Amino acid sequence: MTPDSPLKQMKVGPCRPKDLPALRKLLNEVFVQEREVTGDIFEYAPLMYTPENAENLRIVRHRGRIVGHAGILPRTIRWRGQTLRAGFVGGVCCRQSMRGRGVGTLAMRDAADHMARLGLDFGVLWTGSPGFYERLGWRTGGGLTRVSIAEAAGESPVVREIMPIDESPFGPDACHRLHEAAGRNEVIRTQEETATLLTTYYRGATLALEGGRPDGYFAHRDTDLGEIEGDAPTCIALLARAAEEGYRACPFPLHDPRLPAITEALPVQVTVQPLGMLLITGRESLVARICAESGASPEELGIGEDVSIEVLTARIFGQPDREPTDDPLPLDIHIGYLDRV
Ligand SMILES: CC(C)(COP(=O)(O)OP(=O)(O)OC[C@H]1O[C@@H](n2cnc3c(N)ncnc32)[C@H](O)[C@@H]1OP(=O)(O)O)[C@@H](O)C(=O)NCCC(=O)NCCS
């Protein structure tokens, strides 16, 4: 950096609660006005942009003005008997007139340092610009299956009584019990998280009943399903109903054991995609928890000190094109919803 480099005049650090309106303006300029869409980023990620989380919103200032940002939302993920700490990273941006001068890099480096200081095990983000993050050590990883259901309307060979949860005698706790009992990818939410999710991030839920008791549900956003629970026959009935109602797709964990029966019964299209981009910020603690849970050594699990960050990320979180692999790795964390609860 030369003495008169613009970067020298920049300061990076936490957002103060009183800076939130200025940050909101910048985020909406970049992610709403520039992209010619509608909405408000603060409303899209209501837990991220709060006075309580301001310390974790890392901002770059130039002559006192906010010119860049990388937000972190610390989340707890209960995986088997362990508690993992993830940082969901979002709202990464640089003011349009200041791009290409290192502002975004400064914000992201500070975000990574801050995640390590907070003791977070890893960061996760979703992006259309992976190249920017790869330079900074982030790696594409994890995987989930997207099932496109448009052709499945009216095709279910399985009959279930299906109704919106609001019209049933049941509430969100019925969905929570199904979520908990399935332990789908060994990541379990709390009852409060499920209730919040169903009534805020998702636009509603639809139950399947068998013998008058709930035995599955789907929760939906505007055009896609956000999650589905129930055994394979129940999912078949629910997906066909969702298709009739105009929903287009549903995410599943990568090697979900229900998928073969579903693809056999319904004309659906299956694609696999990465979970997102990941940065391990607490290698030692993450490896220690995986080892404590599995009773195996880092070397036995292929996550010893000598493995590269690429190998470590692929081994811990898996890759979209992987085959079903050994217990207990990879962690099949299908966690997109956690930035809302
Ligand atoms: C992406 C963004 C944050 C980068 O900020 P920036 O301050 O311009 O980035 P920097 O100056 O730190 O970039 C440093 C390097 O990253 C590269 N880079 C920047 N944007 C990139 C992108 N979208 N994809 C790949 N590389 C990118 C630059 O070429 C530069 O490389 P170099 O060091 O080899 O010259 C900024 O372009 C932005 O705000 N974009 C709009 C919002 C957005 O898309 N955010 C990310 C959504 S997840």
Average pLDDT over the chain reads 92
Average pLDDT over residues 241-252: 97
Assigned CATH for 1-142+275-341:
3.40.630.30
Yes or no: say if 159 and 237 are a contact pair by the CB < 8 Å rule. Answer: yes
Distance CA(287)–CA(317), nearest Å, equals 12
Rounded Cα–Cα distance for residues 7 and 5 (Å): 5
Higher pLDDT, 337 or 198: 198
pLDDT of residue 326: 63
Domain limits, the chain: 1-142+275-341, 145-273
Task: Give tens-digit pLDDT for 79-134.
Answer: 888 889 999 999 999 999 999 999 999 999 999 999 999 999 999 999 999 999 99
What one-character DSSP code corresponds to residue 15?
A: P
Could you tell me which CATH number the domain at 145-273 has?
3.40.630.30
For residues 106 and 95, the answer to whether their CB atoms sit within 8 Å is no
Band of pLDDT at residue 25, cut at 50, 70 and 90: very high
pLDDT of amino acid 74: 94
User: Nearest CA to 73 among 340, 329, 276?
Assistant: 340
pLDDT at 235 over 90: yes
Question: 132 CA distance to ligand 1 centroid (A)?
Answer: 5
* CB 30 less than 6 A from any atom of ligand 1: yes
pLDDT for 187: 73
pLDDT digit string, tens, across residues 253-268: 888 899 999 999 999 9
Task: Quick: pLDDT tens for 127-185.
Answer: 999 999 999 999 999 988 999 999 999 999 999 999 999 999 999 999 999 998 987 76
Position 44 scores a pLDDT of 85
**Residue 135 CA, closest ligand 1 atom number:** 16
The position carrying tokens 């054991």 is: 257
- The pair phi, psi for residue 282, each rounded to 5°, is -140, 70
- For 277-332, how does the pLDDT look when each residue is reduced to its tens digit (9 = 90+)? 999 999 999 999 999 999 999 999 999 999 999 999 999 998 888 777 667 788 87
Is 28 close to ligand 1, i.e. is its CB under 6 Å away?
no
Can 1-142+275-341 and 145-273 be said to share one CATH topology?
yes
Q: What is the pLDDT of residue 141?
A: 92
* pLDDT above 70 (res 339): no
| Proportion of the chain above pLDDT 90, given as a percent | 75
What pLDDT, on a 0 to 100 scale, did the predictor assign at position 105? 98
Question: pLDDT: is 278 or 47 the higher one?
Answer: 278
The answer, yes or no, to whether any atom of ligand 1 lies below 6 A from the CB of 132, is yes
Our answer on whether the CB atom of 99 is closer than 6 Å to any ligand 1 atom is: yes
Give residue 200's pLDDT: 78
Ligand 1 atom nearest the C-alpha of 95 is 39
pLDDT over threshold 90, residue 225: yes
The finding on whether 104 has its CB within 6 A of some atom of ligand 1 is: yes
pLDDT confidence of residue 129? 92
Sheet hosting strand 57-62, strand order edge to edge: 10-14, 57-62, 65-79, 82-94, 122-125, 276-280, 139-141
